[in-house]
Amino acid sequence: MTGRSIAAERHGGASTPVFPDVRGLATIGAARGGTFVPLGRTDRTSSELTWNWENDTVAVYKTSEFRKGLKVQIDGEPYLMIEMNFVKPGKGNALYKCKLRNLIRNTVIDRTYKGGDSLEAADVEETEAQFLYRQGDTFVFMDSKTFEQYELSADQVGDNWKYLKDGMVCNMVLFNGNPITVTPPNHVILKVEYCEPGAKGDTATNVTKPVKVETGAEFPAPIFINMGDLIKIDTRTGEYVERVKN
Amino acid sequence: MPSFAPSASWEVLRRRAELFASLRRFFDERGFLEVETPLLCRDSVVDVHLEPFVVPLLAEEGGLRYLQTSPEFAMKRMLAAGAEAIYQVTRAFRRGEQGRWHNPEFTMVEWYRVGDDLRAGMAHLAELADRLLGQVPREQSYAEAFRESVGIDPLEAPDEELSEAARVRGWNGSSHDERDDWLDFLFATVVVPSLRADVPILLYHYPASQAALARLAPDDARVAERFELFFRGVELANGYHELTDANEWRRRAESANERRRKRGRPPIPVESWLLEAMEQGLPPASGTALGFDRLVMTALGKESLAEVMAFPWDRA
């Protein structure tokens, strides 16, 4: 897994001056004090070309830039644009029908924007972070590259606490530099701390019993599993995959 | 397929050519004269939501010209100069309109017949749909289709009711919103998707605020004598019982420009060859514009314009 800086992509994109439609056109067929001047100039001055981008604190996506994969901010929360459809009645306003996934709560919303609307870009970045330790309801991680430490609440970690072993490298998503989600590797190997004794010779995997692992979580596992065994769990489903040789 | 090659298959392009031939036969059989009009003109349709490509010229060449968003103005000048029944197959250009069902450069079929009113214009379009799509369209008024799917009367509902209906369906409103913004939104996201997909449908009597270049109904000033053809959820054609009153057009064009200014869009000249023709006298007529690429797309059951055009925008 490689850390991928989405923020860097965004800044790269925004540094190209993207002209608001109106400005581009206004220099050609311009309105001057309400009077139409058909002989407008077609050049752009250098000050217009370097317009404001450096002073702009918030990068903004205009509807004409809307596309799948955009990370935007709505009501202070980061969203991923997972679908974008352009619809326009022949004699009506252009509409941009978007499906957006909330990157914190994973919920999907439908929003429709009209031509000329815009959305703030979200400063979202993915990084790798090592789980250090848990203290009560606080989970402490360290960025593998910057060594910066982050504290996540039990709420933010959600069900993923079940898989977190000291030193485990997880994928972390930062929004405005603060962690919002942490995702363990797809498969983790955990040591069984307690379970009922295994039935010798019974290798059936469809009959299960609860086993308690080193993180304190319980998973259903086949009845032949014993205390001290190492088992592989799929973190996306919470299902037992296989026993791992010690 | 490499990207230099057409995005449509040869089979589709062959069917497209057949539909073209069939369309021309349809008009020829009815005595329509095929005409051609310029693409680069000094004037252009003044509409709040149509953005023409502006082609800059040297001052001594006249400053600038507009790539036509439709051949409407020029064809109506022909009507004012004695044409009786004319049709044209041409390219039309609309800036910023790009998507699955939009290409900034597209093929438009437009026709006019002197003496036709709303009913006659609709009947003619229905015959054409029957010929090219193999089905006679069902007819319904805009207001009825709107009431059926949204549950609100688009002609009578107060603004607050419309804006609230739009908001709960995902409209991201702003203080600049106008009644037509909510109507368009509800129409595009609720009404059109609820139309039966298997039968073409002709909607008529659009709200007066969306009359564009249509005249208002003589017995109900709330609606315009404007009609549209839809098939498989796609808008295929737009027709009018044409406005002939020059003063009324001047007033609508000025108001459209005022709304364009509010939205930060440059105005389009109100003075035009068309206005001159209308002042001279435009005979009563009905006219319709049909998006030919969309017609091919829906006739062949395709999902996007790129499947029925050789070189869509990103390959042009």
For B189-257, what is the HEC assignment?
HHHHHHCCCCCCEEEEEEEHHHCCCECEECCEEEEEEEEEEEECCEEEEEEEEECCCHHHHHHHHHHHH
For residues B218-238, average pLDDT? 97
B179 neighbors B158 (Cβ within 8 angstroms):
no
Average pLDDT in the B95-116 region? 95
The confidence score (pLDDT) of residue B185 equals 93
Q: In this model, does residue B93 exceed pLDDT 90?
A: yes
Rounded Cα–Cα distance for residues A80 and A124 (Å): 10
CA dihedral angle for residue A9, residue A12, residue A14, residue A18, rounded to 10 degrees = -120
**pTM higher than 0.90, yes or no?**
no
Residue of B nearest to A28 (CA): B56
Contact B171 A112 (CB under 8 A): yes
SS (H, E, C) A4-72: CCHHHHHHHHHCCCCCCHHHHHHCCCEEECCEEECCCCCCCCHHHHCCCCCCCCCCEEEHHHCCCCCEE
Residues of A with a Cβ under 8 Å from any B Cβ are: 20-22, 25-26, 28-31, 34, 36, 38-40, 42, 64, 85-95, 97, 109-117
Q: What is the pLDDT of residue B289?
A: 98
User: Is pLDDT at A31 greater than 70 in this prediction?
Assistant: no
pLDDT(A171) > 60 = yes
Interface test with B, best of A88, A95, A109 (most B CBs within 10 A): A88
| pLDDT at residue B53 greater than cutoff 90 | yes
A5, pLDDT greater than 60? no
Roughly how many angstroms between the first and final C-alpha of chain A, as a whole number? 26
Question: If you count residue pairs, one on A and one on B, with CB atoms under 8 Å apart, how many are there?
Answer: 114
* pLDDT given for residue B1 in this prediction: 64
DSSP 8-state assignment for residue B44: -
Least reliable range by pLDDT among A61-70, A159-168, A210-219, B202-211: A61-70
The correct answer on CATH 3.40.50.720 for the domain covering B10-137+199-315 is: no
Q: Cα-atom radius of gyration of chain B, to the nearest Å? A: 19
Contact: A42, B181; criterion CB under 8 Å: no
The backbone torsions φ and ψ at residue A12, rounded to the nearest 5 degrees and listed phi first, read -60, -45
- Interface subset of B 122-151, CB within 8 angstroms of A: none
Mean confidence (pLDDT) of chain B: 95
Asked if pLDDT for residue A9 goes beyond 70, the answer is no
Assess whether pLDDT exceeds 80 at residue A181.
yes
Query: What was the pLDDT predicted at A40?
Result: 32
Q: Assign 3-state DSSP to chain A and report helix, strand, coil percentages, each to 5.
A: 15, 45, 45
Instruction: Determine the pLDDT at residue A58.
Output: 60
For residue B183, what pLDDT is reported? 95
Among residues of chain B, what percentage have pLDDT more than 70?
A: 100
Q: Within 10 A of B235 (CB to CB), how many other CB atoms are there?
A: 22
* Backbone CA torsion sign across B39, B295, B309, B18: negative
- pLDDT for A205: 67
Across the range B287-313, mean pLDDT stands at 97
The alpha carbon of residue B261 is apart from the nearest alpha carbon of chain A, in Å, by 8
Q: Are B257 and B267 in contact (CB under 8 A)?
A: yes
Q: Which of A137-151, A187-201, A208-222, B253-267 has the lowest mean pLDDT?
A: A187-201
Give the closest residue to A115 by CA, choosing from B123, B96, B212: B96
Higher-confidence residue: B71 or A29? B71
Per-residue burial over A174-192, b = 16 or more CB atoms within 10 Å of its CB, e = otherwise = bbeeebbbbebeeebebeb
Q: ∠ at Cα B263 (B253, A16), nearest 5°? A: 130
**pLDDT value, residue A28:** 35
Give yes or no for residue A49 having a pLDDT over 70. Answer: no
User: How many whole angstroms separate alpha carbon A144 and alpha carbon B176?
Assistant: 48
pLDDT band at residue B14, thresholds of 50, 70 and 90? very high
Report CA torsion sign: B137, B142, B146, B147.
negative
Closest of B296, B192, B211 to residue A91, by C-alpha: B211
CA distances from B179 to A227, B158, B164 (A): 70, 9, 11
Partnered with residue B242 across adjacent β-strands are: B214
Burial (Cβ within 10 Å: 0-12, 13-18, ≥19) of residue A155: exposed
Output A41 or B10, whichever has higher pLDDT.
B10
Task: Please give the average per-residue pLDDT across B55-79, as a whole number.
Answer: 93
Q: Is the pLDDT of residue B311 over 60?
A: yes
The CA dihedral of A155, A156, A160, A163, to the nearest 10 degrees, is -100
Pick the range with the lowest mean pLDDT from A219-228, B77-86, B168-177.
Answer: B168-177
Give the Cα-Cα-Cα angle A67, A71, A75 (nearest 5 degrees): 115
* Cβ contacts of B295 within 8 Å, gap of 6 or more: B19, B132, B133, B236, B237
Q: How far apart are CA B74 and CA B289, in angstroms?
A: 13
Domains of chain A, each with CATH number or no CATH: 3-121 (2.30.30.30), 125-183 (2.40.50.140), 187-244 (2.40.50.140)
